[in-house]
Structure 1
Amino acid sequence: MSQGTQLRWQRATVLSHRAAAEEIAEIVLAGEAPLFTEPGAHIDVRVLPGRTDSESVRSYSVVEGAADGSWVKVGVRRSPTSRGGSRFMHALKPGDALEVTAPLQNFPLRVGAPRYVLLAGGVGITAIHAMARVLKRLGTDYQLIFVGRSRPAMAFLEELREEHGPRLRLSVDDEGDVLDVHELLADVDASTEFYMCGPIRLMDAVRRAWIERGLPLPNLRYETFGNSGWFDPEEFELRIRGSERNTVVSSEESILEALERVGVEPMYDCRKGECGLCVVKAQQLNGVIDHRDVFFDEEEKSSDTKLCVCVSRVASRSGAGAEACGADSSAHARPSLTLDFP
């Protein structure tokens, strides 16, 4: 089993904690060692004190940091299905101590393109915020699109408006201004670099439209939220072919976590549906797979024959994908899935 790159943990102290928007906290942390950061970076936080397993760790994008590394700012949305991470972070107070890593980079901004489009959905602005600031400082041609369900739910909105002025475009659901992805990409050419972070639905729509237009895939860059899918999370039965270690996956845990709980150790790395290391074959599906990854293309997702166990789930909704995996035809049975490990 891979648990990713070996991380060096350090003690950090909460300098400040305030509301950045509805259900989003702005938390400023100072580390024992300097926390040097760059646009697109994140820190890992141990949110279950006393535990050192992978389930105790959550990742949060760095909104900004001091040039001397003396502090970093993160934004954390309180999740209604929190497994402990956002509850822990929202309960912090100035002076509290916690364990963090130095900023890690999986979503770098490449400087030097002639034009940039930055797209943030909801709390995804935490990963995009610093990128926009750098592009402004460099005098680059850029546009920042911020999508949210309502203005009070959009973090750092006023400072973004002050800093980016006409380069900031808002798309606010409750004002009837729903983002038209095809219209957005109509102004994008092969030299434009596009960075996005937000819900899977939004990023899937952009990816499909990007491919339809035949734009260069290396110019589309993104970071994902593994907890955002097409269906609300619900519990489902999980079986392992040829094994008696079957279980029920709760609405508050991933398939990967459920497998680890019953002593099965699949390969994994990113835990965000990006790397594909945790892909497993799916069999005897009753329901539909809620693919929450950005690893598979649309054709692979529609077949429902394999999934990324770190983020994907099963929902109680019938579909063509269920038939492809030999689904149980019982419409009222609890959703279930059998995995076929090599």
Structure 2
Amino acid sequence: MRSRLEWRKARVVEARTIAEDVRAVTFAVEGLRAGFDPGSHTNIRVQINGDPAIRTYTVLPGPPGTLSIAVKLHPNSRGGSVFIWQLQPGDDIELTEPENRFELSWRASRYLLIAGGIGITPIYGMAKTLASRGQRLRLAYAAKSRHQMAFVDELAALLGDRLQFFAQEDGEALDLDSEFAALPPDGEAYICGPLGLLEAARQAWQKSGRSMSRLRYEVFGDNGRFAEQAFDVEVPQLGARVRVRADQSMLDVLVEAGVDMVFDCRRGECGLCAVNIVEADGMIDHRDVFFSEAERQENSRMCACVSRACGGRIVIDTGYRSDLTPAE
């Protein structure tokens, strides 16, 4: 289960490469409501190997009636980024009204924004909105190289010395401990990037003794430690066995097979779709930010929307019991 999606017809009006392996696509959208908050995302119906699927992308600031996204062409993509990169002006698609689960609180005296690679997409909108309202902020933008950084010139003109780049190829390293130490007690940090960056940030934030409620982050659903492989899933109490292809999520396949699942964010953040791991042939690639590192090491539960088995077979328990009846 999840919130009701409001689908809209859309047409591509512009598609251009804005950084190395980063493509920006703008859509004209029928009946699009005016205005949306920074950090919002949209769901897009895509075709992967001839089969329909849904992928989620951050929405960028843009003119009324339009919706823009920026997508990195991932080498281990499940197929969503390839589909978006093939879109050309005039192509028709369907997408949803933007919704936001990565919201600014508007309660902090100072904001620290941290982006890793394509994680700049929600951070870009936040930086523009905070700057336009005269808020105190700093943006730390890290990537493997400057060529992979999108919106560089615009952000530099907007933020000046409030922006700092960290290019790994140039030997520039982001120091999370120093960044957090410079924040006042009521400051807040907003982070989007690879799973390793988010885990390091969460550990550094906890070590600093700050309230976890003042650290906000968003993760990429296709960001794991291992390349995607096909694997089998068994749900013994339901007599179900399904095959999850490399370009599919376990959650999508289970739902398509008629397995009752509770879910919402589809990004490994809310934990609603977590299932119990009964048995697994090999490694589990935990891609969520819901469980702690210690919980992931236990390998007792996993988020079905983003986490995967590294091939082989996995046996799970969804927690559903057909013999349970509602209390009268």
Picking from 132, 140, 143, the partner of 2:127 is 132
Name 1:341's counterpart in structure 2.
318
TM-fit CA distance, 1:194: 0.7
Residue in structure 2 matched with residue 19 of structure 1 by the alignment: 17
Instruction: For 2:10 and 2:232, locate their aligned partners in 1 and report how far apart those are by CA, in whole Å.
Output: 39
From 131, 138, 146, the equivalent of 1:143 is 138
Equivalences for 1:48-63 in 2 at 5 Å?
A: 48=47, 56-63=53-60
Deviations 1:134-178 (A, max 9, x none): 111222211101111111111112221222111111111111213
Structure 2 counterpart of 1:291, from 261, 274, 286: 286
2:323 alignment partner in structure 1: none
Q: Distance in 1 between matches of 2:144 and 2:252?
A: 30
Q: Is the 8 A contact 1:117 1:144 kept in 2?
A: yes
With over 3 angstroms needed to count, the CA separation of the structure-2 counterparts of 1:99 and 1:138, relative to structure 1, is same
Quote the offset at 1:193 in angstroms: 0.9
String of CA shifts for 1:230-258, please: whole Å, max 9, x gaps.
22223334333356533443332222233
Correspondence 1:227 to 2:222: yes
Query: Is the CA contact (8 Å cut-off) linking 1:283 and 1:339 kept in structure 2?
Result: yes
Q: TM-score when scaled to structure 2?
A: 0.89
Q: d(CA) in 2 for partners of 1:243 and 1:166?
A: 58
Q: What's the CA shift for 1:24?
A: 1.1
1:41 aligned partner: 40
How far the C-alpha of 1:183 sits from its partner, in A, is 2.8
Deviation at 1:127, TM superposition (A): 0.6
Cα displacement string for residues 101-155 of structure 1 (whole angstroms, at most 9, x for unaligned residues): 2221111112242100001111111111011011112222111011111111111
In 1: Cα distance, 2:273 partner to 2:207 partner:
28
Matches within 5 A, 1:95-244: 95-242=90-237, 244=239
Q: For 1:32, which of 27, 30, 33 is the aligned residue?
A: 30
How far residue 181 of structure 1 moved from its aligned partner, in angstroms, is: 2.2
Q: 36, 59, 64: which one pairs with 2:61?
A: 64
Partner Cα separation in structure 2 for residue 196 and residue 30 of structure 1: 29
Which amino acid in structure 2 is aligned with residue 64 of structure 1? Answer: P
| 8 A Cα contact 2:143 2:167, kept in partner | yes
Q: Is the 8 Å Cα contact of residues 195 and 287 (structure 2) preserved in structure 1? A: yes
Could you tell me how far 1:74 is from its partner in structure 2? 1.2
Q: How far off its partner does 1:210 sit?
A: 0.9
Distance of 1:247 and 1:38 partners within structure 2: 38
| Aligned counterparts of 2:181 and 2:227: Cα–Cα separation in 1 | 32
- In structure 1, how many angstroms separate the alpha carbons of the residues matched to 2:318 and 2:56? 28
* Offset from partner CA, 1:219-278 (integer Å, 9 cap, x none): 111222111022222333433335653344333222223323544332222111111111
Q: Is the 8 A contact 2:110 2:137 kept in 1?
A: yes
RMSD: 2.2
The answer to whether the 8 Å contact 1:229/1:291 transfers is: yes
- The answer (yes or no) to whether the contact 1:81–1:251 under 8 Å persists in 2 is no
Q: Which amino acid aligns with 1:7?
A: L
Match of residue 273 from structure 2:
278
Does the 8 A contact of 2:78 with 2:246 survive in 1?
A: no
Counterpart residue type for residue 178 of structure 1: A
Q: Which amino acid aligns with 1:79?
A: H
Distance 2:256 2:107 in 1: 46
Instruction: Report deviation, 1:335.
Output: 4.2
Q: Please list every run of 5 or more consecutive structure 1 residues that lacks an aligned counterpart in the other structure.
A: 316-333
Q: Which residue in the other structure is 2:305 paired with?
A: 310
Query: Which amino acid in 2 is paired with 1:39?
Result: P
> Tell me, what secondary structure is at the counterpart of 1:46?
strand
| TM-score, normalised relative to structure 1 | 0.86
Number of aligned residue pairs: give it. 317
Letter in structure 2 aligned against 1:250: R
Provide Cα deviations, 1:53-79, integer angstroms capped at 9, x if missing partner. 9x622221112122xx22222111122
Q: Work out the CA distance in 2 between the residues paired with 1:21 and 1:136.
A: 23
Among 3, 6, 9, the alignment partner of 2:7 is 9
1:297-318 deviation per Cα after TM superposition (whole angstroms, max 9, x unaligned): 2222221111111111223xxx
Q: Which runs of 5+ in 2 are unaligned?
A: 320-328
